[in-house]
Structure 1
Amino acid sequence: MTIDVLADRKNLPREPRELNRLMFVKLMPLLIIAYILSFLDRTNIALAKHQLDIDLGISAAAYGLGAGLFFLTYALSEVPSNLIMHKVGARFWIARIMVTWGLISAAMAFVQGETSFYVLRLLLGIAEAGLFPGVMLYLTYWFNREQRARATGYFLLGVCFANIIGGPVGAALMRMDGMLGWHGWQWMFLLEGLPAVAFAWVVWRKLPDRPSKAPWLSAEEARGIEQRIAAEAEEGAGAGGHSIKQCLTPQILLAIFVYFCHQITIYTVIFFLPSIIGRYGDMSTMSVGLLTSLPWIAAALGAVLLPRFATTPKRARSLLITGLLTMALGLAIASVSGPVFSLLGFCLSAVMFFVVQSIIFLYPASRLKGVALAGGLGFVNACGLLGGFVGPSVMGLIEMSTGDAMNGLKVIALVLVVAAVAALRLRQGQESKREHGSVVQQARSST
């Protein structure tokens, strides 16, 4: 009889907290590693810039154009990629994304000049498109709003880790220069591209499309998760949430604006922080690389520790606004201080980089569902990526016209303050319904 009781207890559904912990353990390591590989392959051309000029005659202007072409095709392909993933499933589509971007990134080793450089950067943007919004969509299949910001924060650790390890790993691979008659940059592209292809097999084997496909969940547990997610989506999106036109509503456009301002900051720091630190004094390349990693360590800590507090719409909005203002304050400190306090300012700003990003995607996810959710998340990310064009371009123009990159940081700090003011108007789907219901009730009471 004791054995029967133990067997019954073993078959009981797990508590929600235990299920959430299990889903984090089973899903997030796979997604984080995929994003690390993605960012390494996206940004490793920065290390090869000088050698591409020497070995192939690819000028600074041609390099800049090639770097930007990636974002162009990436942004244009975001929505179609997400719509396809919604139809064919996350496991197949994320694995496909990894195989194609890995092969194309490895093929950068065979660049012969400007034309082949441009073509491969365009193809890399198409191949990699859909990973980030695809994962944002995928997380809506598993986690409710209370847990989704935390899950997104963990996923964004991939950017932090890639920026921390990318420089040392790339530099080590570049030292293989001359081996088997290849240049160091060729080895770097090849050996950083192929791991994505290999890891795609792991994703194919281990990443379930939905809770109902997870072998580590019972049928009852999977059904309960999917029913809770569906009920939450219905409450937030309402009857109109299926329409693709919902992607152009004022609230979605407001979320896009805030995200655009955020992305201006992220890509400005990615592309300009090493050169700013290099001006602090006479330092080696390794010293600059180590100091550059400090803000990204701060960003990783923020991504792990803070998004978990965005458990209600009110808390999420408060954390979003606080994050934007903290980013602005950090950049303002960096723009007017000496080396030590300037670096501390960058670290302060970086703490909130991925706290803000993890929360922004709660807003479209709370108002859309089905095909509209898939397309909407891709649309939000594609528009936000334009900040990758605007931020570095504006920063460069300001530095060229004033002779001081710190003036660009002041402008971006002001942009973040504007974004924080705009974020005051953001509402998640269920909030708007409650506010509308409250207004109607007050009107009825007054009559």
Structure 2
Amino acid sequence: MTILSPIAVTQAPAACNEHRLTNLLLRRLMPLLVVVYVMSFLDRTNIALAKASMGIDLGLSAAAYGLGAGLFFLTYALFEVPSNLIMQKVGARFWITRIMITWGLLSTGMAFVQGETSFYVMRLLLGVAEAGLFPGVMLYLTYWFNREQRARATGYFLLGVCIANILSGPLGGALLQLDGWLGWHGWQWLFVLEGLPAVALAYVVWKKLPDGPSSASWLSAADAREIQARLDAESDDAPQQTRLNQMLRDKQIWLAIAVYFVHQITIYTVIFFLPGIIGNYGSLTPLQIGLLTSVPWIAAAIGAATFPRLATSPQRCRRILFFGLLTMSAGLLVASFSNSYIGLIGFSLTALMLFVVQSIIFVFPSSRLTGTALAGGLAFVTTCGLLGGFVGPSVMGLIEQTTGTTRNGLWVIAGLLVVAALVSTRLRQGQEQTAT
């Protein structure tokens, strides 16, 4: 007969209750947040499929397209910090609803661009409108999940990107085939029919998304108190940084930014140039290109749903980051050496780890910040990292126009990923001893 100690008896129900609460939060919060992110990615990246036809109809060069694709991230990055600070004051429900309405309307307005100038202006405005969504959700998750579960929750949230890119290929390819209907180009239908649903979804967010545990009607008062107590206890492990200038002096924040910057260069280069690269595989219709484009994102969804749940300790986080970044580099090298379906396998290998890496990166800065510094710090990391979303497509566009191929650009990014992997080994959480 096994005799359980009083400590084991007390810990078992506590662990069961924590498991129950975590599953409840994931079930209640993540589906809506995932759908929001699906819509945001459809609307910020649909120009990838519109590239060829827009280029012909509007006379956009490869360099102009790359610049326009990147300009979104310039204003998106610049407005991240103020957006997150506003969300902390007015609440997540109101601010995410506002973000969705403005980005949906502006994304729809992309159907009316007339040339390079209006293309640039609309991309800049779309960046302003959507600024704060990703860091806002990263901040929002800290209201609900402790450090052990946050990477898992973030991984589920990033499934939205995978789903968006799986859907965007076939959906965008089908919408482009509406070319000529009612006198509109296919790319105009693409922007309108993918932009307006975001405005409708904003109403659902306003009705269903609680600002925090205390305002969640589906949580009992005891459960809400337990969630808050768990988060309060964990915050004791974080350095008491309450000002943004203190955050800027933390070397760990800058290491996280460096890794995230390279990650963003990689992901948006793949997103914006993959359809064009696949288009060079042979004589393919827009729908066929769209279907093949979705293949790497299926791999990305598998990675996002599988690996982040293993990141339950600082050591595991670092190991997964290191090998994830090296895997992404290897995938790009394979893709660069093949203009056939072997290249698609390479892109799938890279995509497998894209959102595994991204879900873990934010665990490090969020474990070291509190209060206003947490809201501003997460937005600052996103801001600096997203500049990679500007640099990647812009440089790749220039390389493609200058050399006639994207191969050299893929080599450069593969090298940067190796450097980022080495940097990731220096990351530390909370008061964990910093590497010297």
Letter in 2 for 1:428: Q
How far the C-alpha of 1:337 sits from its partner, in A, is 4.7
Flag the 1:155–1:388 CA change in 2: closer, same or farther, 3 A.
same
Match of 1:214 in 2: 216
1:362 aligns with 2:363: yes
- Give the C-alpha shift of residue 204 in structure 1: 0.8
Structure-2 residue corresponding to 1:224: 226
C-alpha distance 321-58 of structure 1, shift in aligned 2 (>3 A): closer
Moved more, 117-126 or 93-102: 117-126
- Which one is further off, 381-390 or 350-359? 381-390
Contact 2:69/2:272, CA 8 A, preserved across alignment: no
Change (3 A) 1:334 1:52: closer
Kindly provide the CA deviation profile for residues 25-70 of structure 1, in whole angstroms up to 9, marking residues without a partner as x. Answer: 1100111100111011111223333444554555555444433322
2:28 equivalent in structure 1: 26
Q: Which protein shows a greater Rg?
A: 1
Corresponding position of 2:378: 377
| Counterpart position of 2:108 | 106
What is the CA distance between 1:219 and its match in structure 2?
A: 0.8
Q: Calculate the aligned-residue CA RMSD, in Å.
A: 2.3
CA positional deviation for 1:114: 4.1
Deviation of 1:148 (Å): 0.6
In 2, Cα distance between the equivalents of 1:415 and 1:114?
31
Preserved CA contact (<8 Å) 1:246 1:368:
no
Q: Which residue of 2 aligns with 1:67?
A: 69
Q: Per-residue deviation at 1:390?
A: 2.1
Counterpart of 1:393 in structure 2 is 394
CA shift in 2, pair 1:322/1:280, >3 Å: same
Matches of residues 323-362 of structure 1 in structure 2 within 5 Å? 323-337=324-338, 339-362=340-363
User: Any conservation in 1 of the 2:67–2:393 contact (CA below 8 Å)?
Assistant: no
TM-score (norm 1): 0.88
Letter in 1 for 2:70: G
Q: Distance in 2 between matches of 1:17 and 1:306?
A: 19
Q: Please state if 1:196 is matched with 2:214.
A: no
Q: Distance in 2 between matches of 1:385 and 1:58?
A: 24
Q: Tell me what 2:10 maps to.
A: none
Aligned CA distance change for structure 1 residues 84 and 111 (closer, same or farther; 3 Å) = same
Q: Identify if the C-alpha distance between structure 1 residues 79 and 404 changes in structure 2 by more than 3 Å, giving closer, same or farther.
A: same
- 1:367 is paired with a residue whose SS is coil
Aligned to 2:142: 140
* Other-structure match for 1:36: 38
Q: Which moved more, 1:182-191 or 1:355-364?
A: 182-191
> Does structure 1 conserve the Cα–Cα contact (< 8 Å) formed by 2:66 and 2:397?
no
TM-score (norm 2): 0.90
TM-aligned CA distance change 1:212 to 1:100, over 3 Å: same
Q: Which residue of 1 aligns with 2:93?
A: 91
**Is 2:260 the partner of 1:251?**
no
Pair 411,108 (structure 1): closer, same or farther in 2 beyond 3 Å: closer
Match of 1:293 in 2: 294
Contact 2:149–2:312 (Cα < 8 Å) also in 1: yes
State how far apart, in whole Å, the 1-side matches of 2:56 and 2:415 are.
39
The amino acid across from 2:18 in the alignment is P
User: Relative to structure 1, is the Cα distance of residues 403 and 189 closer, same or farther in structure 2, using a 3 angstrom cutoff?
Assistant: closer
- Post-superposition CA distance 1:54-105 (Å, at most 9, x none): 5455555544443332221111100000000011111111111001111111
SS state at 1:280 partner: coil
Find the counterpart in structure 2 of residue 4 from structure 1: none
Q: 2:405 and 2:112 mapped to 1: Cα distance?
A: 37
Which residue in the other structure is 1:284 paired with? Answer: 285
Identify which of structures 1 and 2 has the higher relative contact order when contacts are C-alpha pairs closer than 8 Å and 6+ apart.
Answer: 2
Worse-superposed segment, 86-95 or 62-71: 62-71
Q: Which moved more, 1:153-162 or 1:406-415?
A: 406-415
State the AA in 1 paired with 2:287. M
- Percent identity, aligned pairs only, is 68
Residue segments in structure 2 that go unaligned for 5+ positions in a row: 1-12
Cα distance change on mapping 1:368 and 1:415 into 2, 3 Å:
same
Mapped contact 2:49–2:275 kept (Cα < 8 A): no
Choose 412-421 or 269-278, whichever is displaced more: 269-278
